[in-house]
Amino acid sequence: MDNFADKVAVITGAGSGFGREFARLGTKLGMRLVLADVQQDALDETFAEVSAAGAQAVARRVDVAKGDEVDALARATLDAFGGVHLVFNNAGVGGSGGLVWENTERDWQWLLGVNLWGVIHGVRAFTPLMLEAARRDAGYRGHIVNTASMAGLLNPPMMGPYNVSKHAVVSLTESLYQDLSLVTRQVACSVLCPYFVPTGIAHAQRNRPAELANDAPPTLSQRVSRALSEKAVSSGKISAEQVAAMVFDAIRAERFYIYSHPNALGAVKTRAEDIVTACNPTDPFAERPQVREQIAGALKG
């Protein structure tokens, strides 16, 4: 896809971070936008901004963990614009982190509900619409972008549920790619694997549903993990705006894997070599033992 003017883009997580930047860039390219987010005030801000800039847009509050709400989003898209060309399954949360056994069932339900089931619902609801459009029009082109993470290719410590969710999104998107290749050349897909980029994901607890809140306060390891995550995310040197530009470039080129920090792929290669040679997982702190010592010390209180 190299012409975005008048095309329809659905963006989940449109209230902040990558989602807002996808909306901004889509507006500049003349796209029509369907914006979705669970945080109403942030969604309203994005909608107001792109509307003021001239975009045709609709906005809906959606909890992507709920399949019926994503189905309703698909129907609203057809009602508003008659079809869809780009789908950004982008909504995501950072979770509670910490030692993997200390995460509660509610922690897992919340994080997998948004990060994994949100993407599953998006693929399930929108792919058939795109395939039907392709059957009707030989000139139709569609593209699905699923937001994963470098944590979908690696397994950093004290990020267990997040790692699991993002590995699953990578696997889901690779499966989608292979399945699409059997039935069409008109609909493509990509997986976005960003590293540390300053967005609001480190503060995602603000949107955690009350019914999935924990009764007990965070454990020591969860507090340590949260502090490390906030520091790493806020110190990122590549902006969400830059990542959005990379994504649209990848859509134009029909490139599947999208990396914000290609220099991080060395660790991915090391992990792959560990798997192929049946080695135990490489210590992620092998070159920075002082970091391991600091974290271990913090976990001892």
For residue 38, the tally of other CB atoms under 10 A from its CB is: 24
Residues 270, 282 contacting (CB under 8 angstroms): yes
Strand partners, 192: 147, 258
Q: The domain that contains 289 carries what CATH number?
A: 3.40.50.720
Residue-wise pLDDT for 24-70, tens only, equals 999 999 999 999 999 999 999 999 999 999 999 999 999 999 999 99
Question: Which residue type occupies 268?
Answer: V
Question: Which residue type occupies 30?
Answer: G
Residue-wise pLDDT for 116-151, tens only, equals 999 999 999 999 999 999 999 999 999 999 999 999
Query: Is position 131 within any domain?
Result: yes
User: Residue 257 in 3-state DSSP?
Assistant: strand
Please report which residue ranges of 104-255 form alpha helices under DSSP H.
Answer: 105-112, 118-136, 160-183, 220-234, 240-253
Domain that holds residue 37: 8-299
Query: Is position 3 within any domain?
Result: no
Residue-wise pLDDT for 192-240, tens only, equals 999 989 887 767 788 899 999 999 999 999 999 988 888 888 878 899 9
For the question of residue 257 being annotated catalytic, the response is no
Query: Is position 2 within any domain?
Result: no
Which string of DSSP letters, residue by residue, matches 1-23? ----TT-EEEEETTTSHHHHHHH
Q: Is the pTM of this model over 0.85?
A: yes
Q: Please name which of 99, 237, 212 lies closest in space to residue 163, comparing C-alpha atoms.
A: 99
Helices (H) and strands (E) in the chain, counts: 10, 7
Q: 162, 177, 257, 259: which is the annotated catalytic residue?
A: 162
Rg (CA), the chain: 19
Query: Is position 1 within any domain?
Result: no
Whether residue 95 has pLDDT greater than 80: no
Residues 104, 161 contacting (CB under 8 angstroms): no
Domain count, the chain: 1
- Residue 9 backbone dihedrals phi, psi, to 5 degrees: -120, 130
